[in-house]
């Protein structure tokens, strides 16, 4: 498989780009090569595709289901009861819907934590994306729940060997308030023994911090440190309520953090301290979180939210400028998950997007980077390429209407099941 993109804008230059197999093979002003697919890049700009560093893909099925309420009420009274009804087939279609939305808005990799791991993996394989997938681990401090959760980790880890190299298996303890200390220790040991990443929520709300102080006598980062979890294999989502001492611990141990600005604002979780994180040298990626707390998977919107929120939080308009934000949404996420992607360069994975410069949101073109971060949306994406394969051309993804129809049918089935239970109780 080979693709030749002719006369496309890259940064401030017009170039030709040759893709051979899964990687960029040549970038220059006059690349003359035979290719199976030719794309006229006139009027288009080439950008690295996005890496959504934290989401719950199949929560597309809950988009708009439960809005405008506190996190812990939202989870315990609405989200978890709905999720308990989901089948693997539901998750498969919800994940395909998420993949469709991400492809159409320029994302080629996502990091996921959810139920029915096999359903999500099957969707990723079929849709052609990359993903780091974890099965949500909950034990609620109950040893009887912990043992089947541990067995699930081992079973799914073994099953993941049959997946393509576009899928990586990782561990997904939900949070310190839903997973026991003993299980967290077990997960840390398992991750290091098998060379796996650990992906979890931490310090998302003041309640979580206050509960940790009351139950363990230390703040959340310090608690994880006492359990032996801090290390370069740990990726923390949210990390809103952090002290300088906690940030210093994260930096010391090479822990990475994912910022989810829209979710943090929608759930009123708090304001992420990007400027302080940056000063400590902590690697920060960008994520949308799930579609029930965002309610979109469009990383263009997430970039704008991240940059503006960082500025107003620090009361400094120079914080998180556009180029840095674009890097957070692409290169930083790729590096966090050990991928040779996130930038346009020979030898890197051919994961990229073509953005139409004739779109109203890209006009006039004073700065491609500025427009990508502050004005563009997923509607500006013409073509999405992942692993050297065209997943979308001229805004069209093969089979998208069936995915939409099947996702709607899954929601109808689950909503009916919940209503039947309610009417019988």
Whether 416 is covered by a domain: the verdict is no
Average pLDDT value for residue range 238-250? 98
Whether 421 is covered by a domain: the verdict is no
Are 89 and 169 part of one and the same domain? yes
Q: Which helix (H) or strand (E) holds 265?
A: helix 261-266
Are 279 and 140 part of one and the same domain? yes
Domain containing residue 372: CATH number: 2.30.40.10
In 223-297 the beta strands, taken as DSSP E runs, fall at: 234-238, 256-259, 284-286
Q: Which helix (H) or strand (E) holds 246?
A: helix 244-253
* pLDDT value at residue 104: 98
Q: Give the dihedral of Cα atoms 351, 355, 361, 367; nearest 10 deg.
A: 80
**Is residue 419 scored above 70 in pLDDT?**
no
Are 217 and 304 part of one and the same domain? yes
Asked whether the bond before 364 is cis by omega within 30 degrees of 0, the reply is yes
Last-in-domain residue among 336, 362, 382? 336
Are 168 and 38 part of one and the same domain? no
How many structural domains is the chain composed of? 2
In degrees rounded to 5, what are phi and psi of residue 68?
A: 60, 50
Are 325 and 200 part of one and the same domain? yes
* pLDDT value at residue 74: 82
Whether 172 is covered by a domain: the verdict is yes
| Among candidate residues 99, 81, 12, 49, the one with its CA nearest the CA of residue 303 | 49
In 115-159 the beta strands, taken as DSSP E runs, fall at: 130-137
Distance, CA of 148 to CA of 137 (rounded, Å): 10
Average pLDDT value for residue range 35-59? 97
* pLDDT value at residue 418: 63
Are 156 and 64 part of one and the same domain? yes
Whether 253 is covered by a domain: the verdict is yes
Q: Which domain holds residue 206?
A: 50-336
Distance, CA of 358 to CA of 361 (rounded, Å): 8
- The pLDDT tens digits of the residues spanning 262-297 come to 999 999 999 999 999 999 999 999 999 999 899 999
Are 172 and 316 part of one and the same domain? yes
Average pLDDT value for residue range 117-121? 98
- The pLDDT tens digits of the residues spanning 294-331 come to 999 999 999 999 999 999 999 999 999 999 999 999 99
Are 34 and 65 part of one and the same domain? no
* pLDDT value at residue 421: 56
Are 44 and 136 part of one and the same domain? no
* Cut 0.85: pTM above it: yes
Q: What is the DSSP letter of 321?
A: -
Are 56 and 171 part of one and the same domain? yes
* pLDDT value at residue 198: 98
* pLDDT value at residue 425: 45
Mean pLDDT score across all residues of the chain: 95
Task: Please give the radius of gyration of the chain, using alpha carbons only, rounded to the nearest integer.
Answer: 21
Whether 415 is covered by a domain: the verdict is no
Are 179 and 247 part of one and the same domain? yes
- The pLDDT tens digits of the residues spanning 188-201 come to 999 999 999 999 99
Distance, CA of 389 to CA of 400 (rounded, Å): 17
Q: Give the dihedral of Cα atoms 416, 101, 55, 207; nearest 10 deg.
A: -60
User: Is residue 424 very low, low, confident or very high in pLDDT (cuts 50, 70, 90)?
Assistant: very low
User: Is residue 72 very low, low, confident or very high in pLDDT (cuts 50, 70, 90)?
Assistant: confident
Whether 115 is covered by a domain: the verdict is yes
Distance, CA of 25 to CA of 15 (rounded, Å): 13
* pLDDT value at residue 310: 98
| Among candidate residues 220, 170, 217, the one with its CA nearest the CA of residue 195 | 170
Greater confidence, 235 or 73?
235
- The pLDDT tens digits of the residues spanning 374-390 come to 999 999 999 999 999 99
* pLDDT value at residue 378: 98
User: Is residue 417 very low, low, confident or very high in pLDDT (cuts 50, 70, 90)?
Assistant: low
User: Is residue 423 very low, low, confident or very high in pLDDT (cuts 50, 70, 90)?
Assistant: very low
Are 135 and 275 part of one and the same domain? yes
């Amino acid at each position: 498989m080979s693709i030749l993109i002719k006369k496309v804008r890259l940064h401030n230059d017009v170039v030709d780009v040759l893709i051979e197999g899964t990687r960029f093979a040549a970038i220059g002003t006059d690349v003359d090569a035979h290719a199976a697919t030719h794309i006229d890049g006139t009027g288009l700009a080439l950008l690295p595709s996005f890496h959504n560093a934290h989401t719950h893909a199949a929560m597309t099925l809950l988009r708009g289901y439960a809005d405008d309420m506190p996190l812990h009420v939202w989870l315990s009274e609405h989200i978890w009861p709905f999720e308990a009804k989901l089948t693997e087939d539901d998750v498969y279609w919800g994940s395909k819907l998420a993949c469709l939305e991400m492809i159409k808005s320029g994302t080629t990799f996502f990091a996921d934590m959810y139920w029915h791991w096999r359903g999500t993996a099957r969707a990723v394989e079929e849709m052609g994306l990359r993903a780091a997938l974890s099965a949500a681990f909950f034990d609620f401090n109950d040893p009887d729940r912990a043992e089947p959760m541990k067995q699930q980790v081992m079973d799914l880890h073994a099953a993941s060997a049959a997946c393509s190299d576009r899928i990586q298996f990782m561990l997904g303890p939900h949070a310190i308030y839903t997973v026991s200390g003993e299980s967290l220790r077990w997960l840390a040991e398992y991750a290091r023994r098998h060379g796996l990443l650990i992906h979890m929520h931490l310090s998302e709300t003041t309640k979580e911090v206050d509960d940790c102080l009351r139950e363990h006598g230390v703040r959340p980062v310090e608690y994880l440190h006492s359990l032996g979890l801090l290390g370069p294999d740990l990726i923390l989502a949210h990390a809103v309520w952090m002290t300088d001492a906690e940030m210093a611990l994260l930096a010391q141990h090479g822990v990475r953090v994912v910022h989810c600005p829209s979710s943090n604002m929608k759930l009123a979780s708090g304001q992420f301290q990007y400027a302080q994180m940056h000063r400590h040298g902590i690697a920060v990626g960008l994520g949308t979180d799930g579609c029930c707390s965002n309610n979109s998977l469009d990383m263009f919107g997430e970039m704008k939210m991240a940059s503006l929120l960082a500025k107003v939080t620090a009361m400094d308009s120079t914080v998180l400028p556009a180029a840095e934000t674009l890097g957070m949404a692409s290169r930083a996420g790729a590096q966090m998950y050990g991928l040779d992607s996130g930038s346009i360069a020979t030898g890197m994975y051919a994961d990229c997007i073509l953005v139409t410069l004739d779109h109203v949101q890209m006009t006039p073109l004073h700065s491609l980077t500025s427009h990508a971060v502050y004005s563009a949306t997923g509607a500006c994406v013409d073509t999405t390429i992942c692993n050297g394969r065209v997943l979308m051309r001229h805004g069209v993804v093969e089979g998208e209407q069936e995915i939409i129809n099947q996702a709607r049918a899954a929601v109808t089935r689950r909503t009916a099941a919940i209503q039947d239970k309610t009417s019988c109780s």
